[in-house]
Copies of this chain bind each other. A is one copy, B any other.
Amino acid sequence: MQRRSFLQSALVGGALAALDTSASAAAANGKRPYKLLPCEEAFTIPEILEAARKHARNIPSWASGPIVGPALPLLMDLGEGRLRGMDAAGIDMQILSLGSPGVQNFDVPTAVSLGKLANDRLAAAIKAHPTRFAGLATFAPQDPAAAVKELERCANELKLTGALVNSHTNGEYLDDPKYWPILEALEALNLPLYIHPRDAAPGVAGAAVPGFTVGWGFAVETGTHALRLIGAGIFDRFPKLTIVLGHMGEGIPYFLERIDNRWDFENALFPTSAKLKRKPGEYFRNNFLITTSGMNVAAPLAAAIATVGIDRILFAVDYPFENQPKSVADFDAIALSVEDKRKICETNVRRTFRL
């Protein structure tokens, strides 16, 4: 796979998927005794596409390619077209975020100004459709001080109630102390941070096996980021910081008991290892929420519920990269009580993002 053509093609695929409004999903619309508030739903703005094209030679990810295809209108539509798709799928409200990798591939001035612009557009869309849209703030980790200012503006002025980062920035993760002011601000502002995947950092890029770039490599990248935060003691330092992981927790719930077991094994013996107040699993269960984006599948959901509990799981689709009505139908088909479905699709989402 040529990396520069990845999103270009992904967008085409996303369009095909998103435009399939299956009858079965539409038929279920209105029958649920709870609302559907998916929380990993993407948008973008023309200025970011333009900048991605301009910076093509310096940017090593999908953003370097000429981004075309029928999904572009879906990503850029923050109005009637998107609402019609939501209606057809039975989606009550999308919690929106700027499509990966956001502004994290741009030079600092471009990233800071485009991040602000994206947040302004997002706030305008929410203002125009306050019952249909909510949103997560974008920021440029490249300039931590500017990121803190922008997060403050998003929380206090734009009234956004969460933030999203697309995993690494220039190969660095948020456990690096230079990013701690961002984490401190997120905690102080009560903004949950959604860590969304992106193309893998150089240290784990080998997991992006062709054909498995998304299905495996994204989880390696994002799960590694999450474990770095835990291992660095971030949640001892910022105990009220909340992290949201998509894709059913990026694999971590499946391994959580083994992770704790081997953590003890490694740490009982290494005087150089991090000293944490609790086991990794306790931070994961206390400071993390996970979403069903791209994983509205019974078996991993059951394992996740058994591992982190029903109150820590949020519904998500990953529009327009996943088929929106199919994701809803898949979730509908999972054998789970209405009360538990209400928690995942509505109550937990409202509580997490203060909606």
| Residues 249-288 of A contacting B (Cβ, < 8 Å) | 251-255, 257-263, 265-270, 272-274, 280
**A219 surroundings in chain B (CB, below 8 A):** 251, 255
Contact with B along A2-42 (1 / 0, CB 8 A): 10010001101100110000000000000000000000000
Inside 8 A of A269's CB, which chain B residues have their CB?
9-10, 12-13
Q: A1-B266, A273-B211 are contacts. A216–B206 as well, Cβ < 8 Å?
A: no
| A247 to B274 alpha-carbon distance, docked (Å) | 25
A1-B272, A268-B13 known; A231-B251 Cβ under 8 A: no
Which of A201, A213, A257 lies at the interface centre, i.e. has the most chain B CB atoms within 10 A of its CB? A257
Closest to A294 in B: B258
Residues of B near A321 (CB, < 8 A) are 265
CB distance from A297 to the nearest CB of B (A): 5
CB distance from A312 to the nearest CB of B (A): 14
Find out whether the CB atom of B209 lies under 8 angstroms from the CB atom of A206: no
Q: Is A205 an interface residue (CB 8 A)?
A: yes
A267 adjacent to B231 (CB under 8 Å): no
Whether a CB of chain B sits under 8 angstroms from the CB of A177 is no
> Is A51 an interface residue, CB under 8 A from the partner?
no
- Whether A108 is near chain B, meaning CB under 8 Å from some CB there, is no
User: Which residues of B sit under 8 angstroms from A206, Cβ to Cβ?
Assistant: 201-204, 224
Size class of the A contact interface (CB-based, 8 Å): 35 or more
Is A76 an interface residue, CB under 8 A from the partner?
A: no
* Distance A1 CA – B251 CA, assembled complex (angstroms): 24
| Interface pair A258/B212, CB less than 8 Å apart | no
Q: A interface, by DSSP: helix, strand, loop or mixed? A: helix
Q: How far is the CA of A213 from the CA of B254 in the complex (A)?
A: 16
User: Given A220-B220, A261-B215, are A300 and B303 also a contact pair (CB < 8 Å)?
Assistant: yes
With contacts A2-B272, A207-B207, A299-B303 taken as known, whether A258 is within 8 angstroms of B215 at the C-beta atoms is yes
Instruction: Report how far A117 CA is from B94 CA in the complex, Å.
Output: 63
A100: shortest Cβ distance to chain B, in Å?
14
Question: In the complex, A116→B303 CA distance in Å?
Answer: 42
A252 to B209, CA, bound (A): 14
Contact B215 A255 (CB under 8 A): yes
Assess whether B295 is in contact with A299, with CB atoms less than 8 Å apart. Answer: no
Given A298-B306, A303-B300: A255 and B209 interface contact (C-beta under 8 Å): no
Please give me the residue from chain B that is nearest to A251 by CB atom: B251
A–B complex contacts, Cβ < 8 Å, 11 sampled: A16-B268, A204-B204, A209-B227, A210-B274, A212-B227, A213-B266, A216-B227, A216-B252, A251-B255, A258-B294, A299-B306
Other contacts beyond A215-B255, A216-B227, A300-B303: 17, CB < 8 A: A5-B270, A206-B224, A207-B224, A209-B228, A209-B231, A210-B274, A211-B266, A211-B280, A213-B266, A215-B260, A216-B259, A253-B254, A255-B295, A257-B299, A261-B322, A299-B303, A302-B306
